[in-house]
Amino acid sequence: MYGIPNVTSLGLSQFFQLSFNVKLARLSPFICLRVYLYLLGFLYFSLKWADRKRIILCQNYVLKLNLKKHVSYLDSIKTFLGVFDHYFEKLIMAHRPLSEMIDFLRLNLHIKNKDYLDNIKNTGKGCIFVTGHFGAVEFLPLSLAMNGYKIALICRFKTKKLKEELIKRAKKFDVILIDANEPKVVFRALRAIKSGRILITECDEFSEWRPYQDKRISVFGHSMPQDKTLDFLYNRAKVPALMGIMRRGKDGFTLCIDSLANGSKDESLSIMAWKKLEGYILNYPQQWYQWKDAAIALSEHIVQNKNKESRKENSVPSKCPVLSPNFS
């Protein structure tokens, strides 16, 4: 029997990875599973209204500030569907047969600027491969591994079951998984790079940034303390750095590869990586699913902006007062 969980006490990742959903992910046709997860996702956010509001407010604030663009109701729906697609991809990546996933990706994957990866492979020196919580990122490790690239991956596991499944699968492709919640993460990452592997890591977990005391970075037009993790890796490893984004499209998935640094210049990889990723986010905002985390990081600015708009509204008689959001 499956117990009925208290949805409001669960994070979104835990909610989607409940045992019943995992069982469906193993057995259901893709289209049925996707529709089911869409319905489940909207149910979740109908109950977690505060999270829903944060995401919408943050996206609207960022796009209005940077692109002078208002987020429509349809844009918001697409953003949430993008989040649900991420968990669909996470579930099938962890629980469907590897042979099925390889066949699926061979049919749907396109790689742009593949020569960057081939050059790294030919030198045998490894590289830092930066990505973000964007698009079909769950397919990124397998996409590289099945094309013959030796990789290592820094990741966080929200459930013990997911960790066990992914470690089991990683061994079949000689992929090294580095748990970000375990000790000596950076040193294990450096060892993987020095062994000639492509190290995959994400740069947009604001809550996990280890900030400099005296350096700042521009995030969506606002100054924030700069993360030093990527800079430390880059300065120690002295290898090239690439960015790889798994962009969803009508014809499948495009792995977009960009060069960030060549490994010889004294420059900040943290700044270059975020600047490149920010460009992708502003071009494809519905494919980024860190809006809730960004809402917390930018909460002071969002609240100030909302209060400013409220004062403007209050200067004109209105029957519908604007309520300020609570980001506590």
- For residue 74, pLDDT over 80 is answered with yes
Instruction: Please name the amino acid found at residue 191.
Output: R
- For residue 67, pLDDT over 80 is answered with yes
Q: List, in order, residues 6 or more apart from 322 with CB less than 8 Å away.
A: 306, 309, 310, 313, 314
What are the pLDDT digits (tens) for 211-233?
A: 999 999 999 999 999 999 999 99
- Residue 128 placed within a domain: yes
Say if residue 52 is in the same domain as residue 188: no
- Residue 320 placed within a domain: no
How much of the chain, in percent, has pLDDT values that exceed 90? Answer: 78
How many domains is the chain partitioned into structurally?
2
Say if residue 226 is in the same domain as residue 189: yes
Say if residue 133 is in the same domain as residue 276: yes
Say if residue 238 is in the same domain as residue 128: yes
How confident is the model at residue 190, as a pLDDT? 95
- Residue 101 placed within a domain: no
**DSSP bridge partners of 243:** 130, 258
Say if residue 64 is in the same domain as residue 208: no
CA dihedral 29, 30, 32, 34 (to 10 degrees): 160
- What is the domain extent for residue 194? 107-286
Angle subtended at Cα 158 by Cα 152 and Cα 160, rounded to the nearest 5 degrees: 85
Say if residue 269 is in the same domain as residue 299: no
Say if residue 160 is in the same domain as residue 213: yes
Say if residue 34 is in the same domain as residue 121: no
Say if residue 13 is in the same domain as residue 141: no
How much of the chain, in percent, has pLDDT values that exceed 70? Answer: 92
The CA distance from 158 to 161, in Å, is: 9
What are the pLDDT digits (tens) for 237-259?
A: 999 999 999 999 999 999 999 99
Say if residue 227 is in the same domain as residue 309: no
Say if residue 64 is in the same domain as residue 137: no
Say if residue 221 is in the same domain as residue 296: no
What are the pLDDT digits (tens) for 263-304?
A: 988 899 999 999 999 999 999 999 999 999 999 999 999 988
